[in-house]
Amino acid sequence: MPLQINVEQARDQVDAAWQDSILPALKAFIRIPAKSPAFDADWAANGHLDDAVALAKAWCEEIAPSGSSIEVVQLPGRTPLLWVDVPATGSGETLLYGHLDKQPEASGWDDDKGPWTPVIEHDRLYGRGAADDGYALFASLQAVRLVHDQGLPHPRCMLLIECAEESGSPDLPAYLDHLGPRLGQPDLVVCLDSGCANYDQLWVTTSLRGMAAGDLRVRVLEQGVHSGDAGGVVPSSFRIARALLERIETADTGAITLPGLNADIPAERYEQAERAAQVLGSALSDKFPWAGQTQPRQASTREQILDRTWRAALEVIGADGLPPTQQSGNVLRAETQLRLSLRLPPTVDGQSATRAMRAALEADPPQGAEVTFVPGGAANGWNAPAFSGWLGECLEQSATAWFGKAAVFIGEGGSIPLMNLLGERFPDARFLVTGVLGPGSNAHGPNEFLHLPMARRLTGVVAEALAAQSARD
């Protein structure tokens, strides 16, 4: 299928739109401290999320094609949601997703930058929420407008922009139910909230990991006692916790051994990982700030890709009961509590994994210690449908047209709960998941930036997909 869009004309249109319309709006958006509800308990009273949605709505009203419906939807007690419905001029339905809520400020910003201060420097727009994920709304609707302005048929385009993604999207299921019939049956779902390994190519996300989390508590005493008196008689709560973790992973390699937490890796994902490894070289491991001579578990880049996308991995992300070293006396502590985070393969059920963890950790405690595991949340991963047919052809062609290089298909190690939710709700839909979170972009941290050339190119790629969707028959 040949590309439908006049690419040379489209580049000029995209560049002009970003310079004249999108950048001013994004700068205004950055200035709004629209922190997600998990980080702003008084979000409703503070009104920052409302301000962000109002700004986005006003911009959409200027840009959306004539006849579009633009509405702020807000259910009682829930964060607002922006709904944009652009009527079809061709066949098909598309759902385009984004979010306007942000992570908190973080420390460590450069002196001339800040979370709520937009700064452009070397093709980068700095500020909280620019890359994660404020740009997605603007790029998505501008893509629709691009197809419309070129006079090409396009599907019905529905933009669903939420305000609680950084809190785990707790309001989204209710909104999907509320919107119900209005959502129709999308043939294509577009999500621009993912990552890229460089800014020179189109990186298409093929899978996302799930997660199981919780707190492991090991208690051996009612209170701490003198370690010289009790050591050797009373077991160390830390040692018991360590032994319990061995029921899930091997300490020497970190490989997950508990049945039910691993999954077969599809042959296609092996092939895609191999191709991605050829592009990345050592860049995947080189991006991490290694201490000393620390090395990854596996030297092969392909295996590193699969380790972070299709193999389970356990991390201890917090601990209680351990005093700072400078304040630790000769005391055999009464208990150790560890917060566990288990990343899961895309096809492993998060709730089932949590139950398996709890059963393994609490069964037959060593030396009769008091052991409890309190689940702390679970999320399912997502595995994209095959990219064969019109979508795969379009992505390969548009990658060459907009980036000058072939597309790279790769899984991501993080989670976007929405994707599994949408995959279950729309089992026949195709998915285009990509994004701008690449090297140094530092979403959630200091000096978050949006790579502007990447964002402009993705605008063109989305437009190509919309045009191809209506032309696929």
For residue 416, the domain's CATH number is 3.40.630.10
Number of other residues whose CB lies within 10 A of the CB of residue 353: 24
Cβ contact 192:455 at 8 Å: no
Average pLDDT over residues 215-239: 97
Q: What's the confidence (pLDDT) of residue 472? A: 86
Per-residue pLDDT at 442 exceeds 90? yes
Mean pLDDT, the chain, whole residue set? 96
Residue 291 resides in a domain:
no
Last residue of a domain, which of 359, 379, 399? 379
* 343 shares its domain with 412: no
Taking residues 186-208, report their average pLDDT: 96
**Does one domain contain both 271 and 149?**
no
Number of structural domains (the chain) is 3
Contact, 52 vs 32, CB < 8 A?
A: yes
63 domain-assigned:
yes
Q: Are 159 and 137 in contact (CB under 8 A)?
A: yes
Domain-ending residue, one of 379, 405, 429: 379
CATH number of the domain residue 370 falls in: 3.30.70.360
For residue 57, count CB atoms less than 10 angstroms from its CB and return exposed for 0-12, middle for 13-18, buried for 19 or more. middle
Instruction: Answer yes or no: is 100 within a domain.
Output: yes
The residue-averaged pLDDT of 182-188 equals 95
What pLDDT score was predicted for residue 135?
98
Final residue belonging to a domain, choices 379, 395, 423: 379
pTM assigned to the model:
0.92
The model's pLDDT over 40-87, given as tens digits with 9 standing for 90+, comes to 999 999 999 999 999 999 999 999 999 999 999 999 999 999 999 999
Residue 399 lies in a domain: yes
The answer on 246 and 164 residing in a single domain is: no
Alpha-carbon distance 473 to 464, whole Å? 15
| Confidence label for 235 from pLDDT (cuts 50, 70 and 90) | very high
Same domain, 219 and 75: no
Give the whole-angstrom CA distance, residue 239 versus residue 282.
Answer: 36
**Token digits for 133?**
């994920």
> Quick one: 253 and 402 in the same domain?
no
Using CB atoms within 10 A of its CB, is residue 54 exposed (0-12), middle (13-18) or buried (19+)?
middle
Q: Which helix (H) or strand (E) holds 376?
A: strand 370-379
Q: How far apart are alpha carbons 344 and 337 in whole angstroms?
A: 22
Give percent above pLDDT 90 in the chain.
94
Of 120, 194, 238, the closest CA to residue 408 belongs to 194
Per-residue confidence band for 222, with pLDDT thresholds at 50, 70 and 90: very high
Residues 144 and 154: beta-carbon distance below 8 Å: yes
Strand, helix or coil at 108?
coil
* 390 lies in the same domain as 362: no
Q: Is the pLDDT of residue 440 over 80?
A: yes
Within 10 angstroms of residue 30's Cβ, the number of other Cβ atoms is 25
pLDDT at position 101 is: 98
Joined together, the tokens standing for residue 137 give: 């709304």
Kindly state whether residues 373 and 454 are assigned to the same domain: no
Residue 160 lies in a domain: yes
349: in domain = yes
Give the CA count within 13 Å in the CB-facing half-sphere of 251.
Answer: 7
Same domain, 134 and 195: yes
Q: Is the pLDDT of residue 200 over 90?
A: yes
Range of the domain at 161: 7-208+381-471
C-alpha distances in Å from residue 25, one per residue of 286, 372, 435: 35, 50, 19
Residue range 148-170, pLDDT digits in tens:
999 999 999 999 999 999 998 89
Q: Is residue 58 part of a domain?
A: yes
Which SS3 state, helix, strand or coil, does residue 435 take?
coil
Same domain flag for 352 and 450: no
Domain co-membership, 346 together with 404: no
Q: Are residues 143 and 109 in the same domain?
A: yes
**pLDDT at 473 > cutoff 70:** no
- Is 439 domain-assigned? yes
pLDDT at 388: 86
Kindly list the distances between the CA atom of residue 421 and the CA atoms of 13, 36, 343, 469, in Å, as whole numbers in the listed order: 34, 20, 18, 22
- Identify the pLDDT of residue 416: 82
CA nearest neighbour of 335 among 237, 245, 243, 242: 237
Q: What is the mean pLDDT of the segment spanning 194-202?
A: 95
pLDDT for position 1: 66
Residue 181: strand, helix, or coil = helix
Interatomic CA distance for residues 105 and 473, integer angstroms = 47
Amino acid residing at 442? N
Q: Express each pLDDT in 342-384 by its tens digit.
A: 999 999 999 999 999 999 999 999 999 999 999 998 989 999 9
Q: Does one domain contain both 369 and 243? A: yes
Edge to edge, the sheet with strand 313-320 lists 313-320, 335-344, 210-219, 370-379
Q: Is 127 exposed, middle or buried (0-12, 13-18, 19+ CB in 10 A)?
A: buried
